[in-house]
Amino acid sequence: MRSKILLLIFNIYTFCLFAQNKIVVIDKPSGLPLPNAVVANKQSKLTSRTNDNGICYLPYKKGDTLLCSHDGFYFSVKRVYKVPDTIFMNPVQNKLQEVEVKSPYAKYYEDSAARALLYRKTIKDAKHKPQMNMNNGIAFDGVISELAYTASGKKKKNKAFVKQLEEDNKQRYIALRYNKETVEKLTGLKNNAAILFIQYNPMQYDFARAATDLEIQMWVRHHFDVWKANPSTDSLLRKFEEAN
């Protein structure tokens, strides 16, 4: 009987220790979810990374201490008083001669939020889907207006615009992590040569989102080695320099 009680206590302890609990990380000034933030449990040393919705899952319980970090935001230390929990992050902002200087990441998220607000109607219209329900007859939810909207060509244009807006947001994020300054520092290429390298070696958005700083550096160095080993690279660089 005693062994069964001990086994039950052990199982309950193990469940509490390894239960995956939800964590939401929020950019405090804008109220938007913060993707790609690294959250760690100080006690267990386990870590996780937030997705595009600012959510991650990590074993933790009341009384634990959560550590959260993100480029462009102040490091956060939070003691857990409730499960699930939310972490609010403050962007790094420096004031020089009464001019507010924000980090590139803070500018990116602020600009993305402003764009979403500015084009909210276009985005809503592009993603709207009319509904037709059968309930003692037929109920139309915007079907007629949707037909007129489609016939006018606005729906196609709005969809193309929203797609371009999303692609632009992705490219701006990639440029935060993979840019001329980064390439110059890691490869020794200068100015136009670094730009040419980026054009011939584009980085995928999903990788830019998920990779650590070290993984970004390794990616650049690897692609530079492959690119440099290509016999046509030297002549390509010479032609590019002559053209400019």
Query: What's the rounded Cα separation, in Å, for the pair 59 and 42?
Result: 11
b/e sequence 201-217, b meaning 16+ C-beta within 10 Å? bebeeeebbebeeeebe
- Domains plus CATH for the chain? 2-92 (2.60.40.1120), 119-174 (no CATH), 178-243 (no CATH)
Global confidence as pTM: 0.45
pLDDT (tens digit per residue) in 122-141: 667 666 665 555 454 444 44
- The burial class, CB within 10 Å (0-12 / 13-18 / 19+), for 79 is exposed
Query: What's the rounded Cα separation, in Å, for the pair 217 and 100?
Result: 30
Overall average pLDDT of the 13-30 stretch:
75
Query: What's the rounded Cα separation, in Å, for the pair 122 and 128?
Result: 10
Cα 50–Cα 82–Cα 52 angle in degrees, nearest 5: 15
Q: Are 50 and 37 in contact (CB under 8 A)?
A: yes
pLDDT (tens digit per residue) in 164-183: 778 888 888 888 889 999 99
pLDDT (tens digit per residue) in 78-130: 888 888 889 999 988 654 444 555 667 677 767 777 766 666 776 676 666 65
Q: What is the pLDDT of residue 136?
A: 47
pLDDT (tens digit per residue) in 207-221: 988 888 899 999 999
Least confident of 45-49, 151-155, 194-198: 151-155
Query: What's the rounded Cα separation, in Å, for the pair 244 and 242?
Result: 5
Cross-strand bridge partners of residue 93: 102
Among residues 20, 24, 54, 22, the alpha carbon closest in space to that of 36 is found at 54
pLDDT (tens digit per residue) in 23-56: 999 998 888 999 999 898 888 888 889 998 999 9
